[in-house]
Amino acid sequence: MRIECIAIGTELLTTRRLDTNSVWIAERLAELGLALHRKTAVGDDRADLKALVEEALRRSDVILCTGGLGPTFDDFTKEVFAEALGSELVEDAQCRAELEAWYAARNRVPSANNYKQVLIPAGAEPLRNPLGSAPGVWWRDPAGFPGRRIVLMPGVPREMKRMWADHVQPRLAALAGAPVHTLRMVVGGVPESTLDERTGPVRKKHCDLEWTILASLTHVEFVVRSGDAAALEAARADLAAELGPDLVCTGSGDLESTVLAMLKARGETLAVAESMSGGLLAARLTAIPGASEAFLGGAVVYSAGAKTQLAAVDPAVLAAHGTISEQTTEALATGIRARLGATWGLAITGNAGPSVDPQGDVERANPVGTCLIAIAGPGGVESRRFVVPGDRPDVQLRAAGWSLDWLRRRLV
């Protein structure tokens, strides 16, 4: 069975957006044991899209499209498919009702062009979009193309992913062969190249499985696939043994959800004080549903006043050692822990750049990339200093991730 993805949007052909949707879809297809044969990105141009759709209808059994379902002048995916298949667009009563309910729930009324979104090609089936106003389309055996499946989904990743889970995955699963099992393991605090070497023997021993290593700024992810669940379990056990405490979690979790779950299991709480990371650590923790069960809150101490007022840092410590110092970072961790009555206090200071005054004392002692992290807990307070590569967002993200991984190792 030949499957292709089509991503629609001029922004995908400029440097403004990467087509991450088709990469995500390729992953989901692989989980179903289905292969993607081609993926194409095309601009918001009727003629270009029409030509591509006509080719795709000739060569592929399943066509998975993202984008061009919105209300604006440059959204015409449904129109183009209807044209290519000689079908009419017909208003779907339920879609219309849901559109109006969607707007009513937000105390707004649809504008005229929103109603374009409730037009569905005759013979096709609308797919509900609980996260947006544009329904998708599932079109099976269109006239003249028996056996074809056409799937039109929104380009907004969160809407596409939800629609995939609710409607597309179950329909494609019916077409899939034997299921492919996927194992995901997240590793913290170890560089990819080191992991690559350390896990070489395990991967060699289980070389009949499909291995992928995905590195990010805060962690490394192993994704292993096989049709043989027992072989996958054997690989998991060997990899877990090799990784030891470096293994953050197995399955769908991440560093944040793992630390929050560990704290919750221990009946402990966390408070943070962030200077250089500016709230990023708190934001990543509170992105996890139920974070409030273990995370009490924190302070973004972007000024001297904030450090003394919110995290109870002694002005004398600040004056004596400066912001980017072990002493101030430890005082922040201790201060926010006491202020919020938390089991653990985590603090981050440093220099994320860009370099403002390379000749200045501060930068000579604390070059761009300098991270100081401190953990205050029942056993007292300690701090670490390290320098990481990358630009401002990289440094902030690494500091947030590494501080969290350090706390995780304390909780193991």
Could you say which residues in the range 369-408 bind a copy of itself, by CB under 8 A? Answer: 387-394, 396
Site for a copy of itself contains 94 (CB under 8 A): no
Contact predicate 270/295, CB 8 Å:
yes
Q: Which of 211, 231, 250, 262 binds a copy of itself (CB under 8 A)?
A: 211
Q: Should residue 295 be labelled a site residue for a copy of itself when binding is judged by CB under 8 A? A: yes
Q: Verify binding: residue 365, a copy of itself, rule CB under 8 A.
A: no
Residue 361: C-alpha distances to residues 321, 349, 372, 396, 412 (Å): 12, 16, 17, 22, 39
Q: Any contact of residue 223 with a copy of itself (CB under 8 A)?
A: yes
Give me the least distance between CB of 243 and a copy of itself, in Å please.
16
In this complex, which beta carbon is closest to a copy of itself, that of residue 42 or of residue 87? 42
Helix (H) or strand (E) holding 173: helix 169-173
- The least CB distance from residue 101 to a copy of itself, in Å, is 12
> Which one, 37 or 88, has the nearer CB to a copy of itself?
37
Q: Which two tokens stand for residue 42?
A: 């095309």
Using the contact rule CB under 8 A, the part of the chain among 82-90, 146-154, 288-296, 357-365 near a copy of itself is 288-296
Residues 6+ apart with CB under 8 A from 50: 80, 83, 84
Which stretch, 146-154, 165-173, 255-263, 276-284, contacts a copy of itself (CB under 8 A)? Answer: 276-284
Confirm or reject binding of residue 185 to a copy of itself (CB under 8 A): no
With CA atoms as reference, report the closest residue to 348 among 301, 313, 315, 303: 301
Q: How far apart are CA 285 and CA 59, in angstroms?
A: 46
Among 86, 93, 105, 380, binds a copy of itself (CB under 8 A): 105
Complex with a copy of itself: residue 340 or 381, whichever CB lies closer: 340
Binding track over 305-324 against a copy of itself, x by CB under 8 A:
xx--xx--------------
Residues in region 109-128 near a copy of itself by CB under 8 A = 110-114
Question: Helix, strand or coil for residue 411?
Answer: helix
d(CA 373, CA 405): 11
For the record, the structure tokens of 48 come out as 């270009």
Residue 106 binding a copy of itself, by CB under 8 A: yes
Residue 172 binds a copy of itself (CB under 8 A): no
User: Which of 7-15, 79-87, 251-259, 372-380 is the region at the interface with a copy of itself (rule: CB under 8 A)?
Assistant: 7-15
Tell whether residue 170 is a contact of a copy of itself (CB under 8 A).
Answer: no
194 binds a copy of itself (CB under 8 A): yes
| Sequence-ordered list of residues with C-beta below 8 angstroms from that of 117, at least 6 positions apart, any chain | 69, 70, 71, 95, 99, 133, 134, 135
Please report whether residue 67 would count as binding a copy of itself according to CB under 8 A. no
Q: Which of residues 38-57 bind a copy of itself (CB under 8 A)?
A: 38-45, 48, 51-52, 55
DSSP label at 74?
T
The backbone torsions φ and ψ at residue 333, rounded to the nearest 5 degrees and listed phi first, read -65, -45
C-alpha span between 183 and 234 (Å, rounded) = 11
Tell me the window of 88-96, 236-244, 293-301, 372-380 that interacts with a copy of itself (CB under 8 A): 293-301
- If one counts every other C-beta atom within 10 angstroms of the C-beta of residue 93, the result is 9
> Order of strands, edge to edge, in the sheet holding 181-188?
210-215, 219-226, 181-188, 247-250
140/203 with CB nearer a copy of itself: 203
Locate tokens 């380009």: which residue?
155
261 near a copy of itself, judged by CB under 8 A: no
Which is nearest to 127 in space by CA: 99, 164, 97, 156?
164
Q: Is 96 in the site for a copy of itself (CB under 8 A)?
A: no
Q: Of the candidates 294, 232, 224, 228, which has an alpha carbon nearest to the alpha carbon of residue 257? A: 294
Nearer to a copy of itself, 24 or 145 (CB): 24
191 binds a copy of itself (CB under 8 A): yes
* Contact call for residue 242 and a copy of itself (CB under 8 A): no
